[in-house]
Amino acid sequence: MKTRLKKLAIPGLRVVVGLIVALESAIFAFSASSAHEVAKVGFPQWIRPALGGSELAAAILFLIPATILVGGYALLFIFAIATAIHFLHGQFDVSALVIYAMAVIVCLTHR
């Protein structure tokens, strides 16, 4: 039983993180409520589809076994940019981004 769980743990984590990040990215990139939030902060409207679309593409690459490495590093880069943007706007609760980044690192180191 333990061996089977060990074989499923990291791939399962990768799929769950990839799907959640892809879904959240799509919502951010394409929803009207996100557009309102971005406008309220004062960002130009192109930021939302650029950042959300890039994150969505990276999440999809992370889900594909042959492109895990490229997608993982792209996600880490995008999470770092998103963290910096949050900090610059006085939003210091980036716990979800930190958890996603650590999950990506675990998946990258246990391929």
Q: pLDDT tens, 8-31?
A: 999 999 999 999 999 999 999 999
**Does the pLDDT at position 100 exceed 90?**
yes
Quickly state the pLDDT bin for 76 (edges 50, 70, 90). Answer: very high
Every domain of the chain and the residues it spans: 2-109
**Does the pLDDT at position 38 exceed 80?**
yes
Q: What spatial distance separates the first Cα and last Cα of the chain, rounded to whole Å?
A: 21
pLDDT value of position 16: 98
Q: What is the pTM of this model?
A: 0.92
What is the chain's alpha carbon radius of gyration, rounded to the nearest angstrom?
15
pLDDT value of position 101: 98
**Does the pLDDT at position 64 exceed 90?**
yes
Quickly state the pLDDT bin for 47 (edges 50, 70, 90). Answer: confident
